[in-house]
Amino acid sequence: MNKFNQKNLSNQIQNPKSKIQNLRTAVIGVGSLGQHHARNYVEIAGEGKIKFVGVCDSNDENAHLIAEKNNCDYFTDWRELLDKVDAVSIVTPTETHCEIACAFLEKGVNVLVEKPIARTLEEADKMIEAAEKSGAKLMVGHLERFNPAMVALCPHVDNPLYFEIHRVSPFPNRSLDVDVVLDVMIHDLDAIQWLVGENVKVSEIRAVGIPVISDKVDAANARIEFENGAVANITASRIGTEKIRKTRFYQTNSYVVLDYGTKFSSITSLAPNAIHPLLGISVNRLEINDVEPLRAEIEAFIDCIIHDKTPPITAADGRRALSLALGVLEKIEAHRSRLNV
Ligand SMILES: NC(=O)c1ccc[n+]([C@@H]2O[C@H](COP(=O)([O-])OP(=O)(O)OC[C@H]3O[C@@H](n4cnc5c(N)ncnc54)[C@H](O)[C@@H]3O)[C@@H](O)[C@H]2O)c1
């Protein structure tokens, strides 16, 4: 899907006679995020659009709890689902993505895998190869692309030149097995690459990051420069006192504010033919279509299967974001060795 041409995906999957009704789906890993995947699939199935086979979690108690909430079947070993489904969301810890995704892809089952696509580029390549071999779709869950504020903004993106990005959260109880770069900064790394252009190469990365509460990097700042001269300055922290999800960027003739948390986006620009620049400044708050981003993401996944289209977020996109995140981590490590922390 072209970012400048996002459509209302709900409309595309409403034909009751389409083969979509027979699409058998499941969610593997129903922890803090996976339970919301399950809820959305169950809702979509409830509207008669797909079939929902059940949830799977290696934690029996969790699998049972989420199945009960959604009134569906549950499994504790994903292998039991290999021959029962046509499409799955994989929402397990990152270190399990490659093994589980490859097994389903090799069977021809379409996969929506959570971000980051995998732990390493080698694992991502294995997944890409498995999808190419079987022809199954492989989509990566970079959810912010479906945030209504981002969707509203997309038609107005015009040569972004300089980004200031802050993504800050209070210390979480989850995802402490990964650092803040792979956990959350990767959302912004994906977004800047997408907004600047998938094919615009990164020319320089500088980064600093430190462990504060956990033994992994808890706070980091990266400066990414692209070969077209665009620069992004990104701060990601999970030891803040408040939640901030703000991106500001300057493009050829305007200043853009995007707040994923409050689903707000605006464009400040100069009215044409203003007598004086200060008299002609206008702020345009964009109207949003307030759908749940995860629902939009899952519908886009289903839509690409049914209409045999390229997923809106491809495995190559997921690999690119991972590669950028690993590049940031490499620079952080080099800097940390000088700091001796
Ligand atoms: N897109 C986003 O905004 C976003 C947000 C949060 C998490 N994530 C990603 O989602 C994934 C899960 O994160 P989470 O925070 O929900 O983690 P979590 O620990 O809360 O949940 C993971 C679940 O997977 C289960 N599990 C582990 N190994 C399994 C296996 N082999 N088979 C079946 N179930 C297994 C666990 O029991 C647990 O219930 C991670 O890759 C994370 O990076 C993405």
Structure tokens at 166: 């802050």
Q: Does residue 90 register a pLDDT over 60?
A: yes
The share of the chain scoring above pLDDT 90, in percent, equals 82
Q: Does the beta carbon of 59 sit less than 6 angstroms from any atom of ligand 1?
A: yes
Among 96, 54, 58, smallest CA distance to 77 is for: 58
Q: Does the beta carbon of 76 sit less than 6 angstroms from any atom of ligand 1?
A: no
pLDDT value, residue 15:
45
Q: Does the beta carbon of 35 sit less than 6 angstroms from any atom of ligand 1?
A: no
Distances 295 to 152, 171, 183, 207, 314 between C-alpha atoms, Å: 16, 26, 21, 34, 18
pLDDT value, residue 20:
57
Question: How many angstroms separate the CA atoms of 285 and 305, rounded?
Answer: 34
Q: Does the beta carbon of 211 sit less than 6 angstroms from any atom of ligand 1?
A: no
**Residue found by looking up tokens 């629902």 in the block:** 295
pLDDT value, residue 311:
98
Q: Which helix (H) or strand (E) holds 26?
A: strand 24-28
Q: Which residues contact 10 (CB under 8 A, 6 or more apart)?
A: 291, 299
Q: Does residue 143 register a pLDDT over 70?
A: yes
Q: What is the mean pLDDT of residues 296-312?
A: 97
Q: Does the beta carbon of 115 sit less than 6 angstroms from any atom of ligand 1?
A: yes
Q: Does the beta carbon of 169 sit less than 6 angstroms from any atom of ligand 1?
A: no
pLDDT in tens, 113-132: 999 999 999 999 999 999 99
Q: Does the beta carbon of 94 sit less than 6 angstroms from any atom of ligand 1?
A: yes
Among 242, 244, 240, smallest CA distance to 212 is for: 240
Q: Does residue 18 register a pLDDT over 60?
A: no
Q: Does residue 1 register a pLDDT over 60?
A: no
pLDDT in tens, 42-56: 999 999 889 999 999
Residue with CA at minimum distance from ligand 1 atom 5:
33
Among 230, 30, 40, smallest CA distance to 146 is for: 40
Q: Does the beta carbon of 130 sit less than 6 angstroms from any atom of ligand 1?
A: no
Cβ(287)–Cβ(264) below 8 Å: no
The share of the chain scoring above pLDDT 70, in percent, equals 92
Distances 172 to 123, 178, 189, 218 between C-alpha atoms, Å: 27, 12, 21, 10
**Number of other residues whose CB lies within 10 A of the CB of residue 102:** 19
Question: How many angstroms separate the CA atoms of 321 and 315, rounded?
Answer: 10
Q: Does residue 173 register a pLDDT over 80?
A: no
Question: How far is the centre of ligand 1, averaged over its atoms, from the C-alpha of 305 (Å)?
Answer: 23
> 239-270 b/e with 16+ CB inside 10 Å = b?
bbeeebbbbebbbeebbbbbbbeebbbbbebe
For the chain, state the CA radius of gyration. Answer: 21
Q: What is the mean pLDDT of residues 82-104?
A: 97
pLDDT in tens, 175-232: 677 899 999 999 999 999 999 999 999 999 999 999 998 889 999 999 999 999 999 9
Question: How many angstroms separate the CA atoms of 209 and 332, rounded?
Answer: 5
Q: Does the beta carbon of 32 sit less than 6 angstroms from any atom of ligand 1?
A: yes
- What rounded mean pLDDT belongs to the chain? 92
Q: Does the beta carbon of 56 sit less than 6 angstroms from any atom of ligand 1?
A: yes
pLDDT value, residue 172:
78
pTM above 0.85, yes or no: yes
pLDDT value, residue 263:
96
Q: Does residue 276 register a pLDDT over 80?
A: no
pLDDT value, residue 53:
97
Q: What angle do CA 284, 286, 292 make, to 5 degrees?
A: 160
pLDDT value, residue 14:
46
**Which atom of ligand 1 is the closest one to the Cα of 35?**
16
**Which atom of ligand 1 is the closest one to the Cα of 59?**
37
**Which atom of ligand 1 is the closest one to the Cα of 97?**
41
Counting ligand 1 atoms within 8 A of each CB, the residue from 61, 69, 74, 175 with the most, and so the one to mutate, is 175
